[in-house]
Structure 1
Amino acid sequence: MDDFARQGSDLVIDGRMIGHGHMPYVIAELSANHNGRIDAALELIAAAKSAGADAIKLQTYRPDTITLDSDRPEFMISGGLWDGRRLFDLYEEAHTPWEWHKELFDTARAHEITMFSSPFDNSAVDLLEDLGAPAYKIASFEAVDIALIRYVASTGKPMIISTGMADADEIGEAIDAARAGGCRELAILHCVSAYPAPPADYNLRTIPDMIKRFGVVAGLSDHTIDNTTAIASVAMGARIIEKHFTLDRKGGGPDDSFSLEPGELAQLCSGVRTAWDALGEVDYGRKSSESGNVVFRRSLYAAKDIAKGETISAENMRSVRPGYGLAPKHYDELIGRVAARDIKFAEPIEWSCLDPL
């Protein structure tokens, strides 16, 4: 199919093949969009399945496993969506309680949608292993945590690494760590770690370069507001699409404002698959959908009555629609030929109409 997608090995998550030759894999990122309510998290699982997503993803951490409970200036957020918040307080609000995880995984299985998570420390990996997580995602901010990547790799499960803020060397180091740790099924996601991110920052032409440079399946973690960037990425070789997902963008949670609502997620799933179908193969042949319209192409017709023995000329023959006569490419060689019989106005010109040379 697409040449740049021939690089890298496919991976399999929960029985679903991902990579070259396979429909893009759509991940609905639940993140903090439960807003502290397990019923909202359960509703999001059902909504993601209904929208057509392949998977729904959690983030597994506690505030004390991702940051320190400190008031020092460097632990305060300055600017952006969460301006003025303490890191510890933000993560306290945003985290998915660990005691919810089993019910969430059980519910996802009941809805027949794949669930996995981004762990942020080794204890999160251990919890997810106990729950039978089929894969792992390394968040962009953790792509430089080589020890965590190695620990995740040691599970032997497929791994997806987001690359927001990472330069080419850091991406290479993360991939090397995953491989050294035992990961055999690996993908990376092009990402811009801004919330929301402007489409112009995405530079989607990076995706085929990533595939060629690193030899892995690539995709997109998209933080733009709408679906245009994600759908366009399919044409650039993205085979995994991840978007944040919420029940209500005005819900007031930390991630709600840059997340898709259920109807928009359904549009994303449909749009991504339409884009994939449209890529197809290199094919110059006539398509089945065109067959009924072939008759409306141009061909050569008598523009007036032509008597037997009369010379064919520009005055009595024209290239017009429909296409039942000789192809227009024969126009020049027919000029000056002699009619073998009477040819009526609007009759298609055929070889049988002409005297043999």
Structure 2
Amino acid sequence: MKEISINGRVIGPSHAPYIIAELSANHNGKIETAMRIIEEAAKAGADAIKLQTYRPDTITLDSDLPDFQITEGLWKGRTLYELYEWAHTPWEWHQPLFEHARKFGITIFSSPFDTTAVDLLEELGAPAYKIASFEAVDLPLIEYVARTGKPMIISTGMADAEEIQEAIDAALGAGCEQLAILHCVSGYPAPPEDYNLRTIPDMVERFGLVTGLSDHTIDNTTAITSVALGASLVEKHFTLDRNGGGPDDSFSLEPAELAALCRDAKTAWQALGKVDYGRKSSEQGNVKFRRSLYFVKDLKAGEIITEDAVRSVRPGYGLPPSHFKNILGKKVTKDVFAYTAVNNNLIETCL
């Protein structure tokens, strides 16, 4: 699959990178904040805003047994249930958020975490689905999403090549006709050195799918670099204030940074261009400043051109310097003055 299309926007190597702003839990429990995040993502130039659709009881169990305790990282000291209770986007918010995104002209879709979430998103007319890295091994969920007939993006954090292939096979086998995958490191935040971005061109070749990056680093450097290596999509968490205190705020982009990502990712893609050894349009005006051959002494008609009579200098109105040896020993056909460009019409035998 060289291309997919979400809500009419074609995504693939021949198109500018598709930028997804991940709202995630950055609403911090306020729908007004979620609305503003959508507005700011649209203003920044993002192609899409993405939600996460789950309830605590659709993603984990309400238990404080050791298996359910978070013992390290940003959310240390909470149970999984407590984390997802804190972080989830209430289902009753989804319809107004979808309507708000459409009002501001930005595509909105979501990551479902169980089949009931898919059903809700289908009712809302979601144009695509994202499978989160932690759910990439949930093949029944992938198959359920595939049967909607919508484009699907699968994030591959923590998955090895075999698991990625299994997820792809599940999606395609259940009828998905537009599939993309994202290289991802599921650390929050993730250090750039963990990303091994050279994996991206290998993924493109190995799996033959539209490929992108889900980036959990702090700044835009990793994301921009990924575009140079073939990423057609870039997903970054997005917030109004990195110091807002929410579950994901600390590793999210702020509005000015998202705007810079949208701008710079497109610039990086444009700079890739194609293999081209020809003269570029921006160079045309400077051709005259290249070196060429000039007479540096006066010569009478019929005199022989000697090595001390000609030099390679700027500008470029004379013969190329590569002709220097060829003109030595030739006669000039007319009187020439010093500082005259060497041209064929001044030499007895044209070159």
Find out whether 1:169 has 2:149 as its counterpart: no
Distance in 2 of aligned mates of 1:83 and 1:331: 75
Counterpart residue number, 1:211: 204
Aligned position for 1:189: 182
Q: Percent identity?
A: 68
- Residues 9 and 185, structure 1, Cα contact 8 Å, conserved in 2: no
Task: Supply the AA of the counterpart residue of 1:97.
Answer: P
Q: Equivalent residue of 1:117, what SS? A: strand
SS at structure 2 position matched to 1:218: strand
CA deviations on 1:200-226 (whole Å, 9 max, x unpaired) are 111111111111111211100011111
Deviation at 1:271, TM superposition (A): 0.7
Q: Does 1:31 align with 2:24?
A: yes
What is the match of residue 328 of structure 1?
321
Greater displacement, 11-20 / 309-318 = 309-318
Alignment gaps of 5+ in structure 1: 1-7
Q: Which segment is superposed worse, 13-22 or 291-300?
A: 13-22
What's the offset of the Cα at 1:33? 0.6
Between 302-311 and 275-284, the greater mean CA deviation after superposition: 302-311
Counterparts of 2:326 and 2:339 in 1: how far apart (Å)? 20
Letter of the aligned partner of 1:338 in structure 2?
Answer: K
In the other structure, the counterpart of 1:241 is: 234
* 1:180 match: 173
Structure 1 residues 214, 284: closer, same or farther in 2, change over 3 A? same
Is the 1:221–1:242 contact (alpha carbons within 8 Å) kept by the matching residues of 2? yes
Distance 2:84 2:337 in 1: 84
SS of equivalent residue, structure 2 residue 32: helix
Alignment RMSD: 1.1
| Alignment match, 1:222 | 215
**Structure-1 separation of matches of 2:117 and 2:269:** 35
Residue number among 330, 334, 337 corresponding to 1:344 in the alignment:
337
Q: Distance in 1 between matches of 2:345 and 2:205?
A: 57
Partner residue in 2 for 1:152: 145
Alignment of 1:285-296 (within 5 A): 285-296=278-289
- Give the match for residue 3 of structure 1: none
Q: Secondary structure at the match of 1:355?
A: coil
TM-score (norm 1): 0.96
1:244 positional shift:
0.5
1:284 Cα deviation (Å)?
A: 1.5
Q: Could you list the per-position Cα deviations for residues 173-226 of structure 1 after superposition, in whole angstroms to 9, with x for gaps in the alignment?
A: 101111122111100000000011111111111111111111211100011111
User: Which segment drifts farther, 10-19 or 187-196?
Assistant: 10-19
TM-superposed CA distance for 1:55, in Å, is 0.2
Query: Is there any run of 5+ residues in structure 2 with no aligned partner, and where?
Result: none
Matches within 5 A, 1:24-63: 24-63=17-56
SS of the equivalent of 1:82 reads coil
Q: Which residue number corresponds to residue 92 of structure 1?
A: 85
Aligned to 2:76: 83
* 1:304 shift after superposition: 2.5
C-alpha distance in structure 2 between counterparts of 1:306 and 1:204, whole Å: 62
Residue of structure 1 in register with 2:265 after alignment: 272
Say which SS state the counterpart of residue 95 (structure 2) adopts: helix
Which one of 253, 257, 260 corresponds to residue 246 of structure 2? 253
User: 1:269-293: CA deviations, max 9, x gaps?
Assistant: 0011011111112211111111111
Distance 1:313 1:247 in 2: 73
Deviation digits for residues 98-132 of structure 1 (CA, Å, limit 9, x no counterpart): 11000000000111100000000111111100100
- Provide the TM-score with structure 2 as the length reference: 0.97
Match of 2:277 in 1: 284
